[in-house]
Chains A and B, each alone.
Chain A
Amino acid sequence: MFTNAGTSSFTTFLSRVAPEMLPGRRPLPPGMAADLAPHATTIVAIAAAEGVVMAGDRRATMGNLIAQRDIEKVHPADAYSLVGIAGTAGIGIELMRLFQVELEHYEKIEGAMLSLDGKANRLASMIRGNLGAAMQGLAVVPLFAGFDLAAADPARAGRIFSFDVTGGPYEETGYDAIGSGSLFAKSALKKRFRAGLSVEDATRLAVEALYDAADDDTATGGPDLTRRIYPVVMTATAEGTYRLTDAETATIAEGVVAGRMENPGG
């Protein structure tokens, strides 16, 4: 089964040899399953001058309960792109892992990386495959952002793509947010986003937006100063992807909280 000349796509290969490993290919019993599993919440992405910044809060909820305080929802998709997940956490993590393998697999088989648009389209078709489960309440909606190595204008190399449960992708200008707190995060970003922000400023802005989301949305977690749990912040620039260390995010988050002590509205 491994030796067929076949395809460069790992998901296409899986659909032939191990379809049960694809999230959308499992038979689901009828009925709503929305309250069955933890939900991951808010992710924000901001295009900066040198690339793109993505940040996510650390909370997963199950109804009115906090299922996990320190879940990680922002991950590198490959060396130059990032993916954040919102929605049913289990399926989201599975989809994200599968997407990481998909990109790496193509790169190894073909000896070249997919284009940024190619990656976004691939992710869109994987989400589309989960439509049946989404209609029963197990929806996953990711946010995808990356540094476009082929961009003609380096200032526009940081690009953001959003999706809906039926696929997408929709390219966003400047910034975007997904998840339960996205309404508040986007409202905050709308007022404060400027084109051509530096990565440092965009990082701070992303943590501010997550604070605003946590302020008004119970399912989004704010910076947890007592347990030292801070948002996950990642950047994708010409140098590749980078996850800010806990110490770096702690400094930013504590700065944001100190600012809100003076002015709770930011």
Chain B
Amino acid sequence: MAMQFYASPEQIMRDRSELARKGIARGRSAVVLSYSGGVLFVAENLSSALHKVSEIYDRIGFAAVGRYNEFENLRRAGVRMADLNGLSYDRRDVTGRALANAFAQTLGAIFTEQSKPFEVEICVAEVGATPADDELYRLTYDGSVNDEPGRMAMGGQAEAITGVLKSNHRPDMSLGEAVKVAVQALSSVGGEGGAARTIAANQLEVAVLDRQRVGRTFRRITGAALTALLDGKAAPPASDLPETPSVPTGEAGKPTSSAGSADLEDRPGQADS
């Protein structure tokens, strides 16, 4: 029988934290922030198929950095939990806070019970009626939860990115401004000798939770619409991305019956049906 060496619990936790931190720091970063029209997610991602940013529920989005298989596992769990709760109760009863709690429990349990912690950092964001009502939760590898004030950065050199975000971000920004601030923050690190670099549109994954929509609010911004936003030349078509902020029209409190209602709300008279 092999000799078991004693390791103190402190040492074990330290080692696990170090492993997780190193894993997360190796990856590319992601930024989440509130703007006037909703919540914006911008992640640096070379793949257009393996997403770091995705939809969980009507008004809830998910962003992650770190090991893909690990955060994908958490994302699927989140979608399952949200859909199960939405079906058993009502669509309005699925909240970002409940999801953040569930993720925290899972991550915490994995951190203490498994020999290897998840090398991930995730953000659960819920869009509210105004930027002040938006909820951004940061969850780290050890299961700790933080409620972030309207903006956050995750991944390698997150502190430097957060610094740039903090000085430039305002909650009443338009989508175009918000994307610029996010990309500027992401590109402020990692250049030659600590200088800024440029990130091409095809290396960015951008999505929003659109405050104005009823039903499913999550929209990806890709291709020409994204390039236009980055260049600041023209806004994408108004029907896709309403830039003018407003309180959700119609009966904001009325639950949507299904996924199918996601694309209806631009039509006249739909709100009262």
Contact = CB atoms under 8 A, between A and B. Distances in A.
Interface in B227-273: 257-264, 267-270, 272-273
B86 interface: yes
Interface of A: 2-3, 5-6, 10, 13-14, 17-18, 21, 75-79, 81-82, 97-98, 100-101, 103-105, 107-109, 111, 239-243, 245-248
Contact of B267 (A14, A21, A100, A242): A242
A107 B257 CA distance: 17
23 contacts: A2-B77, A2-B81, A3-B76, A6-B80, A10-B83, A13-B84, A75-B258, A79-B262, A97-B258, A98-B87, A100-B260, A107-B259, A108-B55, A108-B79, A111-B49, A240-B263, A240-B264, A241-B261, A241-B264, A243-B270, A245-B269, A246-B272, A248-B269
Interface in B38-77: 49, 51, 54-56, 73-74, 76-77
Interface of B: 49, 51, 54-56, 73-74, 76-81, 83-84, 86-88, 102, 106, 216, 257-264, 267-270, 272-273
Contacts of A100: 257-260
Contacts of B260: 75-79, 81-82, 100, 241
Contact of B84 (A5, A14, A240): A14
Please provide the 7 A-B residue pairs with the shortest distance between their CB atoms, ordered closest to farther: A76-B260, A104-B259, A100-B258, A2-B77, A245-B269, A240-B263, A3-B77
A242 B260 CA distance: 9
Nearest to B73: A3
Contact of A97 (B55, B80, B87): B87
A3 B74 contact: yes
A101 B273 contact: no
A78 B268 CA distance: 20
A103 B257 CA distance: 13
A2 B105 CA distance: 12
A239 B145 CA distance: 40
A108 B60 CA distance: 12
Contacts of B267: 242
Contacts of A246: 272-273
Given A108-B54, A243-B264, A245-B273, A79 B259 contact: yes
Contacts of A103: 259
A76 B73 CA distance: 29
A242 B270 CA distance: 8
A106 to B, nearest CB: 10
Contact of A3 (B106, B261, B270): B106
Given A77-B260, A107-B259, A247-B269, 18 more contacts: A2-B76, A2-B81, A5-B76, A10-B80, A13-B80, A75-B260, A76-B259, A76-B260, A97-B87, A98-B87, A101-B86, A101-B258, A104-B258, A108-B55, A111-B54, A242-B264, A243-B273, A246-B272
- Summarize B's interface: helix, strand, loop or mixed: helix
A58 B84 CA distance: 29
A102 to B, nearest CB: 9
A150 to B, nearest CB: 18
Contacts of A10: 80, 83
B17 to A, nearest CB: 22
Contacts of A104: 83, 216, 258-259
A187 to B, nearest CB: 30
A6 B273 contact: no
Contacts of B54: 108, 111
A5 B270 contact: no
Contacts of B261: 76, 241
Contact of B272 (A3, A241, A245): A245
A77 B267 CA distance: 18
B77 A108 contact: no
B88 A75 contact: no
Contacts of A3: 73-74, 76-77, 106
Contacts of B49: 111
Nearest to A102: B83
Contacts of A111: 49, 51, 54
Contacts of A239: 263
B73 A5 contact: yes
B106 to A, nearest CB: 6
A58 to B, nearest CB: 14
B126 to A, nearest CB: 16
A52 B73 CA distance: 38
Given A21-B87, A77-B258, A78-B258, A241 B263 contact: yes
Q: Which of B76, B77, B81, B270 has the most CB of A within 10 A?
A: B76
B259 A245 contact: no
A216 to B, nearest CB: 29
